[in-house]
Amino acid sequence: MADMTQVARPYARAAFDLAQAQDTLQAWDDELALLAAIADDDRVRAVLADPRVDRAAKSGLVLGIAEGHLSSETRNFVQLLAENGRLPSLPAVRTEFAALKAETEKRVVAQVVSHRKVTQAQEKQLLEALRERLGCEVELDCSVDESLLGGVVVRAGDLVIDGSVRGQLSRLAANLSR
């Protein structure tokens, strides 16, 4: 995940700077969300990861699926990613772009990873607690990681709250070894 984030960050920054200069942040965010969803599809992901498929075909696939929903700048962005072999990073580019947009709007996007799907009641509790702690508007990006034994891990900007069972056990082991 960290490697993909490092790859995605400069592309997200470039897209963000262009979108901000053209006052099209929301349009770019919407289009990147669509592209991230396309790249996240299992079948598309398999094609994008296949070294036997040339880069032009990969960009053609993504652009074909998104036909009629992208600006010319976004289409050029997809082709640039394809030329550099970075199409699989589209979901991470979208995440980084959304974080930059949220920062500009004085919002924080908190990534919540849990063993099971977070319920609406749990989302509401998390939102209230994070708003109080961070002092700004918070948007949740929830995902499931079945490798967690239980609990949640929350990442919001520089803040990381590890409430997972594994994290609690690690802290307990560290305290016992002192």
Burial class (CB within 10 angstroms; exposed 0-12, middle 13-18, buried 19+) of 111: middle
Question: In degrees rounded to 5, what are phi and psi of residue 159?
Answer: -85, 130
Contact (Cβ atoms closer than 8 angstroms) between residue 45 and residue 39: yes
pLDDT, mean over the chain: 90
Tell me the percentage of the chain whose pLDDT exceeds 90. Answer: 57
**Predicted confidence band at 93 (pLDDT cuts at 50, 70, 90)?**
very high
* Residues 30-76 pLDDT 10s: 999 999 999 999 999 999 999 999 999 999 999 999 999 999 999 99
**Predicted confidence band at 2 (pLDDT cuts at 50, 70, 90)?**
low
Please check the confidence at residue 125 and state whether its pLDDT lies above 90. Answer: yes
The strand pair at 137-144 and 159-162 is best described as unpaired
Cα–Cα distance measured from residue 62 to residue 87, given in angstroms and rounded to the nearest whole number: 9
Contact (Cβ atoms closer than 8 angstroms) between residue 126 and residue 118: yes
Q: What pLDDT sits at residue 16?
A: 97
Residue 95 one-letter amino acid: T
Instruction: State if pTM tops 0.75.
Output: no
Q: What pLDDT sits at residue 171?
A: 81
Average pLDDT over residues 73-82: 96
Average pLDDT over residues 97-123: 88
DSSP string covering 68-107? TSS-HHHHHHHHHHHHTT-GGGHHHHHHHHHHHHHHHTTE
The strand pair at 152-156 and 159-162 is best described as antiparallel
Contact (Cβ atoms closer than 8 angstroms) between residue 107 and residue 136: yes
Please check the confidence at residue 157 and state whether its pLDDT lies above 80. Answer: no
Structural domains of the chain in order of their starting residue, each with its CATH number: 2-100 (1.10.520.20), 107-176 (3.30.2320.30)
Contact (Cβ atoms closer than 8 angstroms) between residue 143 and residue 111: yes
First-residue to last-residue Cα distance in the chain? 32
Q: What pLDDT sits at residue 1?
A: 47
| CA angle (21 as vertex; 135, 30 as ends), nearest 5 | 65
The strand pair at 107-114 and 152-156 is best described as antiparallel
